[in-house]
Amino acid sequence: MNDQNEPRFRIRARHTESTITVYQAYRPEIGGPAARHGRFPSSWKRDRMTWIKPSFLWMMYRCGWGTKEGQETVLAVEISSEGFLWALRNACLSHHVPALHGDRADWKRQLRQAPARVQWDPERDLHLNPLPHRSLQLGLAGEAAARYADEWIVGIEDVTPLATEVHALVRAGELDAAAGLLPEERPYPVQGEVLAGLCA
């Protein structure tokens, strides 16, 4: 993970031939039922943007190992690769890049119309320090959020106990043991043109 040769932009994830696992963190009233039933409860807001993250350690950075208020239940959500790729193909980069988007007004129009948005943030190490390469965050709204909740989900697992265990090992200085528990995240195969306008 600290490899200096790691490309700056690359999706790394736990995946199979037909699925990819992403992470989210919710308050227990949403996360608990979601993990038990394999779908989000009716209290899950479809009209809000929801962000999915293929990186376990970036999720740990975001939710403080499941200790931040409202993010106490960490979920591993296995979704179809077909759905994930649909979101990427219909996504807009979350920040304006003149070389890609032309003027700012055009980009803002694209952003408003796109059901998904892409953001790249520094990947994290076990101490949650930033690394030189980037980790994908994918925001889903409107049609994308509805498809995510209703069509793409294959399974939902509560991985809060894993987060707690890894965190305890990190705090104890047992980094090799902590690293051994991390989900195996490998480069995710995606055709170059899919990411062409999303890497900047």
Residue-range domain boundaries for the chain: 12-194
Return d(Cα 185, Cα 200) in angstroms, integer.
22
Q: What per-residue confidence (pLDDT) applies to 148?
A: 97
Strand stretches in 82-148, DSSP E? 91-93, 116-124, 130-140
Q: What per-residue confidence (pLDDT) applies to 1?
A: 46
**Contact (Cβ atoms closer than 8 angstroms) between residue 80 and residue 55:** no
Q: What is the arithmetic mean of pLDDT over 162-190?
A: 96
Q: What per-residue confidence (pLDDT) applies to 8?
A: 85
* pLDDT tens figures, 11-66: 999 999 999 999 999 999 999 999 999 999 999 988 889 999 999 999 999 999 99
Model confidence at 112, pLDDT cuts 50, 70, 90, reads confident
Mean pLDDT across the chain, nearest whole number? 90
* pLDDT tens figures, 52-108: 999 999 999 999 999 999 999 999 999 999 999 999 999 887 765 655 656 767 767
Please check the confidence at residue 2 and state whether its pLDDT lies above 60: no
